[in-house]
Structure 1
Amino acid sequence: MKLLNGTLLGLALRTDESYGKIEKLEASVGLLEGRNSSTVTDVGSLLNTIEQLKFDLNEPDQELLCNDIEITSIFEEKGEHLIHIVITLAMKLGVKLSENDLVSATWVGRVNVSPQTVPESRPRPIVVRFGRRTLKDQVLMATRDRRGINTEGTGLPAPHCRFYVNE
């Protein structure tokens, strides 16, 4: 009987120790779950911050595009001065520009072969960035007023063709 009582007492002590460990583990799990829910909110706020930063970076780029136009159907020649071509085309449209009015002018896209070797090839467009939006608007209005205008009389090399100006 003494042996049986001693064994039962040992089991009761072990059971109490196990319950104590279980309570500690439950408390730890509760703390971790609390941290996890706050981490989820932290991740959500970080994602919102990232989206806001992307928007903030994209907004100035969109504003800069408001000053851009695209001129198409002008063939490239070696050694040409692109700003001069843009100013000449603007004069043909009836808009007086100077080099100070333009921020940049560049050919965009893949380089095409000359129209003499492959007649059906399309020339690359010219993208022009103006210093002020009002200049861009003047060029676009002049283009609308003079639909069908071509490069004849501008000093650009033949073939003379219609050119197009778009936003």
Structure 2
Amino acid sequence: MKCKTCSETVIDGVDCGSCRGQFHFGCIGIVETAYRKMNMDRRAGIRCQKCRAGPDNSQDISTILEELRGFRAEFGAARSDIERISNSVDSLNAKWNEMESRFSSLEDRVIALESSAKVVSKLQSELATSSQTIHNLQNELHVRDQNARINNVEISGIPYKKGENLLMILDTIYKKVGVHLEANEVDSIHRVRRFVSRNTGQVDTNSEGDAAGERSVGSNATEPRPPAIIVKFTRRLCKDQLLAAVRARRGLTTTDIGTEGPARAIFISDHLTPANKLLLKRARERKAELQYAYLWTRDCKILMRKTDTSKIVAINNDSDLLKLK
């Protein structure tokens, strides 16, 4: 059946209670959502513009006012929905101001509402794109931060002593693991501060060892660990030689380097970023959960292997841990 106003086919529309003609919702001036809420008596009282203008118009002022109030309620609810959406999308505020001025001059609020819905969809798409861009930039910065540490090693477990000579301590470690340290191989050596957040109880992002789950031999579990020593070598080869010698030596303690007091384990490893240390801690938990045989770091990369013959898996983020079986 065709609409008596626009002559287009009507699939689901409104019947005029007077002339029985069929119309589109917009052509007869009715909001579809408001029409759906009307009872049969109210629907029967609907008249097209032609019938309302003729002598058979039986709608009184009170009925018209009631319909107007219903339309106003519909528009108020629609406006509330858009305001809630604007709170979650900062960039929508400017667009909403433009829509507000349009709403004040438009009689047909439904058209304006449909237009705004399209704008929201576009803004949500742009927001998703921006979020992905930020995520990619954060990953790129993290990779650069880790690459900046590629020539570094982290030495944990050596107690701090006022006036200590870190180069002499490093030289003693070299002699104990059977390699020779050249003075020009070390670019810098220093300790880093470590503390635990009072709010979360977790190791602060400036910490350099506890996040990896290290523990000293014979030490009290509640005793704070001494600041780690960070050594930056002039070449990666120097770092690789030291790590290889330490792995071959195994079981290096403070007693081996002449430190007074009970023996404490000394850990020498790649200098991971705080984010990668937390990832390594979660990898240890995942390793125990899935009963993987091996977990280690090499060239500042976290690697896992379930058995001696299985494939080595690189762990770059939490998603890689979730993929493990």
Q: TM-score range with shorter-chain normalisation?
A: 0.5 to 0.7
Q: Equivalents in 2 of 1:135, 1:57: separation in Å?
A: 26
In structure 2, do the counterparts of structure 1 residues 67 and 107 end up closer, same or farther at CA, with 3 Å as the change threshold? same
Q: Report if aligned partners of 1:108, 1:127 keep a CA contact under 8 Å in 2.
A: no
Which protein is richer in helix relative to its size? 1
Q: Report if aligned partners of 2:190, 2:230 keep a CA contact under 8 Å in 1.
A: yes
3-state SS, counterpart of residue 96 of structure 1: coil
Residues 25-70 of structure 1 deviation map (CA, whole Å, 9 limit, x = unaligned): 2322222122111111111111111111111111112223433323
Deviation at 1:127, TM superposition (A): 2.9
Residues 5-25 of structure 1 deviation map (CA, whole Å, 9 limit, x = unaligned): 7895xx8xxx9xx9xx65x32
In structure 2, do the counterparts of structure 1 residues 37 and 150 end up closer, same or farther at CA, with 3 Å as the change threshold? closer
**Sequence identity percentage:** 23
The structure 2 residue matched to 1:40, chosen from 93, 116, 124, is 124
Alignment of structure 1 residues 69-108 onto 2, 5 Å: 69-93=153-177, 94-98=179-183, 101-108=186-193
In structure 2, do the counterparts of structure 1 residues 150 and 38 end up closer, same or farther at CA, with 3 Å as the change threshold? closer
TM-score, normalised with respect to structure 1: 0.63
Counterpart for residue 269 of structure 2: 166
Alignment of structure 1 residues 1-167 onto 2, 5 Å: 8=57, 24-93=108-177, 94-98=179-183, 101-109=186-194, 120=219, 124=226, 125-148=228-251, 158=260, 163-167=266-270
Deviation at 1:109, TM superposition (A): 2.9
TM-score, normalised with respect to structure 2: 0.36
5+ long unaligned stretches in structure 2: 1-53, 69-105, 196-217, 271-325
Structure 2 counterpart of 1:146, one-letter code: R
Deviation at 1:151, TM superposition (A): 6.5
Which structure has more relative contact order (CA 8 Å, sep 6+)? It is 1
In structure 2, do the counterparts of structure 1 residues 146 and 120 end up closer, same or farther at CA, with 3 Å as the change threshold? closer
In structure 2, do the counterparts of structure 1 residues 56 and 166 end up closer, same or farther at CA, with 3 Å as the change threshold? closer
Q: Report if aligned partners of 2:186, 2:231 keep a CA contact under 8 Å in 1.
A: no
5+ long unaligned stretches in structure 1: 111-118
Q: Report if aligned partners of 1:90, 1:97 keep a CA contact under 8 Å in 2.
A: no
